[in-house]
């Protein structure tokens, strides 16, 4: 049941992501043990939600292995039963056209079925998982999420009892999300994550954030983040507009100009400090559940 929490801001910490960042900042967690430890540190620093990808512990490459997700979840839950777990379903959406025949997948493609992309959600039943309403040029590769695949993933997520965090990277993605909500595939009130600064999506500017916010359905709960140096400026704008926020080593490797973040907790601590200057209080996991309508 939602309750009045007008001065509360939910902080999500995105722990590791899937890009080649560990070689740029050794604080990016790779193994299940390291990801879980970083999640616990972020929660202690003030994050109500931790957003989880997994990586091959030997290579650091992104992984979709259920066993790795299970280990991360179990390690977190062993020490902290309160923090809200948000598992990604973005993995498995990458397509790289082959050079000889662009209709055939080339090296780097991870594109798989909706069932494969939601298998860990079905098995582990997190309270929240992402649903990327986006087909776009994502840097140099394609990120594919067709309407049919999104409907199938939404059905699997609902069956698992999870709340979809609808990730959008541009205005057209919000229009597709509104269509899926009208069709009944996504429940009201929807929960959006506005993702800014990803090449080649919406740029990380206040003007873009205002435009995206204006197209959200009535009653939507929303959060926003910017990547890289835009992480904290977008946090301030989003919080000032009444939205929730996200930080973490998935999105940004630096605590300040030229200073690598020593871990996810440091980024959360800086977010907490900035929110205090805006007279906003970080939501506890219990308060976040109330805001998001989780747990019945």
Whether residue 79 is contained in a domain is answered as yes
Whether residue 264 is contained in a domain is answered as yes
The whole domain housing 200 covers 8-292
Whether residue 2 is contained in a domain is answered as no
For residue 71 the two structure tokens come to: 């280990």
In this predicted structure, what is the pLDDT of residue 296?
53
Q: What percent of the chain has pLDDT over 90?
A: 96
Q: What percent of the chain has pLDDT over 70?
A: 98
Task: For the chain, give the mean pLDDT.
Answer: 96
Q: Which residue's structure tokens are 């595939």?
A: 185
- Please write the tens of the pLDDT for every residue from 155-211: 999 999 999 999 999 999 999 999 999 999 999 999 999 999 999 999 999 999 999
Asked whether residue 37 carries a pLDDT value surpassing 50, the answer given is: yes
CATH number of the CATH domain containing 119: 3.20.20.70
The domain tally of the chain equals 1
Work out the average pLDDT over 100-111.
Answer: 95
Whether residue 1 is contained in a domain is answered as no
Whether residue 114 is contained in a domain is answered as yes
Asked whether residue 143 carries a pLDDT value surpassing 90, the answer given is: yes
Work out the average pLDDT over 39-49.
Answer: 98
Work out the average pLDDT over 72-80.
Answer: 98
Best CA proximity match to 205, nearest among 236, 168, 246:
236
- What's the predicted TM-score (pTM) here? 0.96
In this predicted structure, what is the pLDDT of residue 278?
95
Work out the average pLDDT over 63-71.
Answer: 98
Whether residue 3 is contained in a domain is answered as no
Better pLDDT: 295 or 70: 70
């Amino acid at each position: 049941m939602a309750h009045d929490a007008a001065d509360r801001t939910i902080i999500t910490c995105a722990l590791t992501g899937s890009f080649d960042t560990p070689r740029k900042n050794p604080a990016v967690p790779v193994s299940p043990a390291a990801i879980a430890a970083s999640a616990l540190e972020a929660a202690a620093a003030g994050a109500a939600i931790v957003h989880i990808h997994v990586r091959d512990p030997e290579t650091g490459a992104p992984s979709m292995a259920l066993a790795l997700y299970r280990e991360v979840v179990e390690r977190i839950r062993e020490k902290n039963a309160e923090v809200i777990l948000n598992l990604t379903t973005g993995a498995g959406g990458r397509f790289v056209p082959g050079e000889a025949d662009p209709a055939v997948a080339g090296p780097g493609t991870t594109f798989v079925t909706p069932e494969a992309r939601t298998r860990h959600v079905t098995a582990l039943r997190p309270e929240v998982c992402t649903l990327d309403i986006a087909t776009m040029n994502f840097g140099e590769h394609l990120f594919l999420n067709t309407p049919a695949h999104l409907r199938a993933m939404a059905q699997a997520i609902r069956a698992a009892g999870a709340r979809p965090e609808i990730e959008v990277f541009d205005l057209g993605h919000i229009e597709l999300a509104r269509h899926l909500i009208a069709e009944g595939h996504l429940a009201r009130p929807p929960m959006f994550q506005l993702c800014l600064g990803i090449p080649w999506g919406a740029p990380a500017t206040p003007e873009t954030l205002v435009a995206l916010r204006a197209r959200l359905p009535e009653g939507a709960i929303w959060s926003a983040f910017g990547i890289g140096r835009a992480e904290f400026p977008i946090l301030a704008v989003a919080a000032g507009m009444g939205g929730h926020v996200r930080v973490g080593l998935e999105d940004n490797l630096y605590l300040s100009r030229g200073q690598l973040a020593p871990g996810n907790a440091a980024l959360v601590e800086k977010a907490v400090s900035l929110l205090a200057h805006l007279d906003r209080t970080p939501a506890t996991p219990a308060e976040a559940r109330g805001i998001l309508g989780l747990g019945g």
